[in-house]
A and B are shown apart, each in its own frame.
Chain A
Amino acid sequence: MAKPLPGRVVNQIRLLRFMANEMTQAELGERIGMTRQTVAAIEAGKYSPTLEAAFRIAQVFGKPLDEVFQWEG
């Protein structure tokens, strides 16, 4: 069985929310069709969103995907 490769997805959502007039997790969740708890889990690195959700989040902040999510190897 293949071993999971080291590394993880990190994100700048908390910073971007702050810069977007201190948008709340609930507001972001509403705009991308997710619960506040799921947004909190993504921010905390407890859940890696699908590519589609990641693009939706980036679109809300008007940023390219790689400014929102990065791979930390």
Chain B
Amino acid sequence: MSFREKIAWLSLVAMVVAYGVYFTLVSPAFLPKGASTGYFLALLGGILAAQAVLVTIASIVLAIQAGRDANAPADERERAIARRGAAIAYFVLMVGIIAVGCVMPFSVSGWHIVNAALLALVASETVRYGVIVVSYRRGWHG
């Protein structure tokens, strides 16, 4: 498995776990009644910080294991796979942003919109990394 594929797996797993926890905790089943802005900010900040620390440490470990491969520029296959992931994720992000920016302001407000926008970002990034790891695993002919 190449260094970039490992980084894609790491990013995908970290994102799914971190935001899986976040969106579970802000779901109606778990959200405390009258949760304040401070609650949301602390929760989101904590999740973001934990994800950043975990990904940074794991990336350093993977880079040490990979040796000079970690510093090598991406080759044409890796660049093509990254472009494919970004192109597909773009459409997910567009749908999400249209829903959040054009539809939700007429029905809900506040943290619902913030969380929906965050969900759109997380969904598009998850699709991006998902496409990348699938392309690495199953092969892709460009």
Contacts and interface: CB of A to CB of B under 8 A. Distances in A.
B120 to A, nearest CB: 28
Interface residues of B, number: 15
B141 A38 contact: no
Nearest to B75: A34
A38 B139 contact: no
Contact of A47 (B1, B69, B72, B140): B140
Interface string A26-68: 0001000111111001001111111001000000000000000
B28 interface: no
Chain A interface, DSSP helix/strand/loop, else mixed: loop
B113 to A, nearest CB: 37
B34 interface: no
Interface residues of A, number: 16
B75 A35 contact: yes
Contact of B76 (A44, A45, A46, A50): A50
5 contacts: A35-B78, A37-B5, A41-B77, A44-B139, A46-B141
Interface of B: 1-2, 5, 69, 72, 75-78, 136, 138-142
Interface of A: 29, 33-38, 41, 44-50, 53
